[in-house]
């Protein structure tokens, strides 16, 4: 299709990045697979949550989603046609262990085994996320991540999957965005399982990190040459004003958003200032847990979407220290470009975030495991989707990634979120994040302008910019 590029956008080309850089797209099992009742798959917490009235916009659910369970060969062809060299996807735990424990279902393992073979045949390096939020409901019924037993269950599941795929899959991500599981799922209740309890959310947070640490040696034992890490959603945080109260609030907010994850993973334990504020809500930590959590990773995955500007909420009317012990309020900055989700579009935030993480934590290689945007895409009568805002977002964020590289950040890859429009959690099918448009009635896939551009970028055939 023909699309035009705003001449004020930066010029960025694949050739600006190292030759061994990984380029791909990311997806997640529940968001694309469908096939909810096939291959012996058990119920997940997102099946239960999305089928509970009022939890997901328009009552949408993941029963069919993008029907990737049946259409995966076509989806992998699409990825290959982009010129990508990697693909990040997740495994649905309930396809492997329908109740979260016990013997593996062969049909579930076979599905992913075929997918992995399909990737390798197409020259695409598989990047597997073990947990992207679809916990078996049967485990939830026993307490899910709130129960310490979840750590052992996750290690067993990891053992099964890495034994089955580890001969071919070398890149393993234990968890995707523990922040969302812990706090969206257990404090705010807007994600599955819909619990609203800060103390439980903190315990979930701890169990997620512990299960990550427990899984690392399992992966390494089963996978010769394994590269194992975790994916965090991180945000650059700045104060709403120069006032000492806002500056202190921004630091606390950074504690809840970023340091609560980065510090323990890098051997520093939980940040003392955050734990002190949390008081009775602080997680119960057993001797030895922090050592397990701090086991070294081979890479750090970062998902970047937006920064946050933060003010002190201590004196806000109605502020309840029992609900919000950090006492911070995210401030709406006016006049900022936003996605259809309302997330501010700040490409420089990516450079700032990456340089900060590299400076403060000196992680091994960093991969951007997700970055993308949602806009209200329209298919034109000629069958094209000219998503110029997403295209502009993509170009500017790639230029920002290049800036981080130039500043010395050990950045090694970029995965666009997402290959396909998909089930966007509590927003259902309303929010489209794909570089490919999906007609959910016909399941037809149409590459959007951003996808066409990404193809030229990955193939390094972009025409010179005017």
Nearest-approach distance from CB 305 to ligand FCB, in angstroms: 6
End-to-end CA distance of the chain: 18
- Let me know: does 298 contact 228? Beta carbons within 8 Å: yes
> What whole-number distance in Å separates Cα of residue 384 and Cα of residue 323?
47
> What whole-number distance in Å separates Cα of residue 40 and Cα of residue 52?
22
Please identify, among the stretches 105-113, 270-278, 312-320, 417-425, the one whose residues bind ligand FCB according to the rule CB under 6 A.
Answer: 417-425
Q: List the interface residues with ligand FCB, window 303-322 (CB under 6 A).
A: 303
367 in contact with ligand FCB (CB under 6 A): no
Select 178 or 325, whichever has its Cβ closest to ligand FCB.
Answer: 178
> What whole-number distance in Å separates Cα of residue 428 and Cα of residue 440?
12
Please identify, among the stretches 146-154, 175-183, 209-217, 260-268, the one whose residues bind ligand FCB according to the rule CB under 6 A.
Answer: 175-183
Nearest-approach distance from CB 157 to ligand FCB, in angstroms: 19
Cα–chain-centroid distance for residue 459?
25
Active site residue 177: yes
Select 198 or 234, whichever has its Cβ closest to ligand FCB.
Answer: 234
Select 176 or 389, whichever has its Cβ closest to ligand FCB.
Answer: 176
Residue of 117, 107, 87, 89 lying closest to 41 (CA atoms): 107
**Burial tier of 442 (Cβ tally within 10 Å: 0-12, 13-18, 19+):** exposed
Work out whether strand 436-439 and strand 444-447 pair parallel, antiparallel, or are unpaired: antiparallel
Residue 161 parent element (H or E): helix 149-165
233 in contact with ligand FCB (CB under 6 A): yes
Residue 446 parent element (H or E): strand 444-447
- Let me know: does 182 contact 201? Beta carbons within 8 Å: yes
Nearest-approach distance from CB 431 to ligand FCB, in angstroms: 8
Candidate residues 424, 449, 453, 458; the one interacting with ligand FCB per rule CB under 6 A: 424
Candidate residues 425, 429, 454, 457; the one interacting with ligand FCB per rule CB under 6 A: 425
From the candidates 33, 43, 177, 292, give the one annotated as an active-site residue. Answer: 177
Whether the link from the prior residue into 418 is cis, omega within 30° of 0, is yes
Taking CB under 6 A as the rule, which mask of x and - marks residues 275-304 in contact with ligand FCB?
----------------------------x-
From the candidates 33, 292, 308, 370, give the one annotated as an active-site residue. Answer: 370
**What sign does the CA torsion over 447, 449, 452, 457 have?**
negative
Please identify, among the stretches 136-144, 172-180, 291-299, 309-317, the one whose residues bind ligand FCB according to the rule CB under 6 A.
Answer: 172-180
Nearest-approach distance from CB 286 to ligand FCB, in angstroms: 29
Nearest-approach distance from CB 261 to ligand FCB, in angstroms: 14
437 in contact with ligand FCB (CB under 6 A): no
47 in contact with ligand FCB (CB under 6 A): no
417 in contact with ligand FCB (CB under 6 A): yes
Select 233 or 389, whichever has its Cβ closest to ligand FCB.
Answer: 233
- Let me know: does 394 contact 454? Beta carbons within 8 Å: yes
Candidate residues 176, 211, 227, 436; the one interacting with ligand FCB per rule CB under 6 A: 176
Report how many residues bind ligand FCB under the rule CB under 6 A.
12
Question: Over 223-290, what HEC string results?
Answer: CCCCEEEEEEECCCEEECCCCHHHHHHHHHHHHHHHHHHHHHHCCCCCCHHHHHHHHHHCCCCCCCHH
List alpha helices for 346-439, DSSP H. 347-361, 388-406
Please identify, among the stretches 17-25, 174-182, 319-327, 397-405, the one whose residues bind ligand FCB according to the rule CB under 6 A.
Answer: 174-182
Select 179 or 453, whichever has its Cβ closest to ligand FCB.
Answer: 179
Count how many residues are written for the chain: 466
> Distance of CA 110 to CAs 40, 69, 154, 164, 349, Å?
12, 12, 20, 9, 41
Select 386 or 422, whichever has its Cβ closest to ligand FCB.
Answer: 422
List alpha helices for 34-105, DSSP H. 45-50, 68-82, 93-96
258 in contact with ligand FCB (CB under 6 A): no
Q: List the interface residues with ligand FCB, window 368-387 (CB under 6 A).
A: 370
30 in contact with ligand FCB (CB under 6 A): no
183 in contact with ligand FCB (CB under 6 A): no
341 secondary structure, DSSP code: T
222 in contact with ligand FCB (CB under 6 A): no
Nearest-approach distance from CB 45 to ligand FCB, in angstroms: 14
If one counts every other C-beta atom within 10 angstroms of the C-beta of residue 6, the result is 10
> What whole-number distance in Å separates Cα of residue 397 and Cα of residue 61?
31
177 in contact with ligand FCB (CB under 6 A): yes
180 in contact with ligand FCB (CB under 6 A): yes
Which residues participate in catalysis according to the annotation? 177, 370
Q: Interface residues with ligand FCB (CB under 6 A)?
A: 28, 31, 176-177, 180, 233, 303, 370, 417, 424-425, 433
């Amino acid at each position: 299709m023909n699309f035009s590029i705003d001449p004020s956008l930066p010029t960025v080309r694949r050739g600006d990045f190292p030759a061994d850089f990984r380029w791909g797209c990311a997806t997640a099992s529940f968001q694309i697979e469908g096939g909810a009742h096939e291959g012996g798959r058990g119920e997940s917490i997102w099946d239960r949550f999305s089928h509970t009235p009022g939890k997901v916009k328009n009552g949408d659910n993941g029963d069919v989603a993008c029907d990737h369970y049946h259409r995966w060969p076509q989806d992998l062809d699409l990825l290959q046609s982009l010129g990508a060299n990697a693909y990040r996807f997740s495994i649905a735990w309930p396809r492997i262990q329908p109740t979260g424990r016990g013997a593996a279902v062969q049909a579930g393992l076979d599905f992913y085994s075929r997918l992995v073979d399909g990737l390798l045949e197409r020259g695409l390096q598989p990047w597997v996320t073990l947990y992207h939020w679809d916990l078996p409901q049967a485990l939830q019924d026993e307490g899910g991540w709130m129960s310490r037993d979840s750590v052992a269950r996750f290690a067993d599941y990891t053992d099964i999957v890495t034994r089955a795929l580890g001969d071919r899959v070398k890149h393993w991500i234990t968890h995707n965005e523990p922040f969302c599981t812990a706090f969206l799922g257990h404090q705010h209740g807007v994600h599955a399982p819909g619990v609203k309890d800060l103390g439980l959310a903190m315990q979930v947070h701890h169990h997620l990190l512990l299960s990550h640490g427990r899984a690392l040696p399992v992966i390494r034992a089963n996978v010769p040459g394994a590269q194992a890490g975790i994916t965090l959603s991180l945000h650059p945080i700045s104060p709403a004003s120069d006032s000492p109260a806002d500056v202190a609030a921004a630091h606390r907010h950074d504690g809840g958003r970023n340091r609560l994850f980065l510090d323990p993973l890098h051997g520093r334990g939980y940040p003392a200032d955050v734990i002190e504020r949390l008081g009775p809500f602080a997680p119960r930590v057993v001797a030895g847990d922090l050592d397990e959590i701090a086991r070294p990773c081979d890479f750090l995955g970062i998902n970047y979407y937006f920064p946050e500007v933060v003010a002190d909420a201590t004196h806000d009317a109605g502020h309840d220290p029992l609900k919000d012990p950090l006492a911070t309020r995210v401030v709406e900055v006016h006049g900022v470009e936003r996605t259809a989700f309302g997330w501010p579009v700040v490409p420089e935030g990516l450079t700032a975030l990456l340089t900060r993480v590299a400076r403060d934590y000196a992680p091994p290689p960093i991969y951007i495991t997700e970055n993308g945007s949602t806009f209200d895409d329209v298919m034109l009568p000629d069958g094209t989707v000219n998503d110029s805002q997403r295209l502009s977002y993509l170009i500017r964020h790639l230029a920002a990634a290049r800036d981080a590289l130039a500043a010395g950040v050990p950045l090694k890859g970029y995965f666009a979120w997402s290959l396909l429009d998909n089930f966007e959690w509590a927003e259902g099918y309303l929010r489209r994040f794909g570089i490919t448009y999906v007609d959910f009635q016909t399941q037809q896939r149409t590459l959007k302008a951003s996808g066409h551009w990404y193809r030229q970028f990955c193939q390094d055939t972009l025409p010179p910019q005017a």
